[in-house]
């Protein structure tokens, strides 16, 4: 069976088309579609309940509030039962028609088939910031992560079980997907433009996603901060010496040095605070998400969100 995990938040305008296209695309497969309602304030949850009533292949996982896109994906992975699991966004920017082709690649032995965006029909600002982020990320992290690859993917049962078992409080699914390893194959595609509804990622949420994509996978920023501190301290000292030798007033030289060092200290403290804050949240051991209700699924399965199930044995394709 193929499981399809779709995180949704205020996507009532896209749900009817999503259902139609997904059903048509996977008509030849045994499948389940798990729609994870991430604290929607519109009729999203009610529509999914109607879908589940009309077609038992559609399931609902309703979270108690908005926990974020990545946490919603993990919630869906927790409940997924298929031998392979597809992840796609509910705004239809990831074409569901591509899932059968990705499943075929999985059947040939790939354990992760990730969508590689060869083109993005989005605003220039979104394209530019995404391109910059992925390239910075690839430079800073030890884990090799493919450029321009999002959450759209088909993963083997083993990969899904490992990701769920990790249980990070700030999951970055595409990073964890790369970190676990196994045989990974790129699947090039063109990412569509959102046609209905508003995009859910604000600038702040994008920044938080960027931090989640770097901090858990790298200590390079801390090393860069240390090197920057040494470099700026040296420059400040040199500037002070040159200033004194060149006749610059002592007070001006001191102000230059203090300003440099103060700015650097704020930068380093902020960076350390981010790492310490993330470590604190991991130590608090709070659940990644809280389930309010499920439709068409076993509610007791929510205990697995903490990683109580270990990696499963390889699942044979169905």
Listed by start position, the domains of the chain span 2-217+288-306, 220-283
Q: How far apart are CA 301 and CA 140, in angstroms?
A: 36
Return mean pLDDT, the chain.
Answer: 76
Question: Residue 68: left if φ>0, alpha if ψ -120 to 50, beta else—which one?
Answer: left
254-300: per-residue pLDDT in tens? 676 676 666 667 667 766 666 666 666 666 567 788 888 888 887 76
**Strand (E) positions, the chain?**
2-8, 31-37, 58-63, 84-87, 112-120, 149-156, 184-191, 291-295
Specify the fold of 2-217+288-306. Answer: Spore Coat Polysaccharide Biosynthesis Protein SpsA; Chain A (3.90.550)
Separation in Å, CA 224 to CA 77, 82, 247:
35, 43, 34
Counting every residue written for the chain, the total comes to 318
pTM for the model: 0.67
Question: Do 126 and 200 form a contact (C-beta atoms < 8 A)?
Answer: no
HSE of 200, CA atoms in CB hemisphere, 13 A: 19
> Residue 59's beta-bridge partner residues?
34
As to burial, measured by CB atoms within 10 angstroms (0-12 exposed, 13-18 middle, 19+ buried), residue 258 is: exposed
183: tokens are: 């045989």
Which of 148, 152, 129 has the alpha carbon at shortest distance from 206?
A: 129
| 304 pLDDT above the threshold of 90 | no
**68-93, pLDDT tens digit by residue?**
888 899 999 999 989 999 999 988 88
Question: Is the pLDDT assigned to residue 317 strictly greater than 50?
Answer: no
Strands across the sheet containing 112-120: 184-191, 112-120, 149-156, 84-87, 2-8, 31-37, 58-63, 291-295
């Amino acid at each position: 069976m193929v499981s399809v995990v779709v995180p949704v938040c205020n996507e009532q305008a896209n749900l009817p088309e999503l259902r139609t296209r997904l059903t048509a695309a996977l008509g030849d497969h045994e499948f389940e579609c798990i729609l994870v309602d991430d604290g929607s304030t519109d009729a999203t949850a009610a529509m999914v309940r109607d879908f589940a009533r009309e077609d038992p292949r559609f399931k609902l996982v309703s979270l108690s509030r908005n926990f974020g896109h990545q946490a919603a994906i993990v919630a869906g992975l927790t409940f997924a039962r298929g031998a392979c699991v597809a992840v796609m966004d509910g705004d239809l920017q990831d074409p569901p028609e591509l899932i059968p082709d990705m499943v075929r690649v999985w059947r040939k032995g790939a354990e992760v088939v990730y969508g590689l965006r060869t083109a993005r029909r989005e605003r220039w600002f979104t394209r530019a910031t995404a391109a910059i982020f992925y390239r910075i990320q690839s430079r800073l992290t030890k884990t090799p992560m493919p450029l321009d690859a999002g959450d759209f993917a088909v993963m083997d049962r083993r990969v899904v079980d490992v990701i769920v078992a990790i249980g990070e409080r700030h999951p970055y699914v595409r990073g964890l997907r790369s970190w676990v390893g196994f045989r990974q194959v790129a699947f090039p595609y063109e990412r569509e433009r959102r046609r209905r509804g508003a995009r859910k990622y604000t600038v702040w949420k994008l920044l938080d996603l960027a931090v989640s994509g770097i901090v858990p996978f790298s200590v390079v920023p801390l090393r860069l901060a240390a090197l920057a501190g040494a470099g700026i301290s040296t420059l400040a000292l040199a500037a002070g010496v040159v200033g004194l030798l060149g006749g610059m007033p002592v007070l001006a030289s001191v102000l230059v040095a203090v300003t440099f060092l103060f700015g650097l200290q704020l930068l380093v403290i902020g960076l350390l605070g981010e790492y310490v804050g993330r470590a604190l949240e991991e130590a608090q051991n709070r659940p990644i998400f809280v389930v309010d209700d499920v439709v068409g699924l076993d509610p007791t399965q929510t205990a697995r969100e903490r990683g109580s199930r270990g990696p499963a044995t390889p699942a044979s394709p169905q």
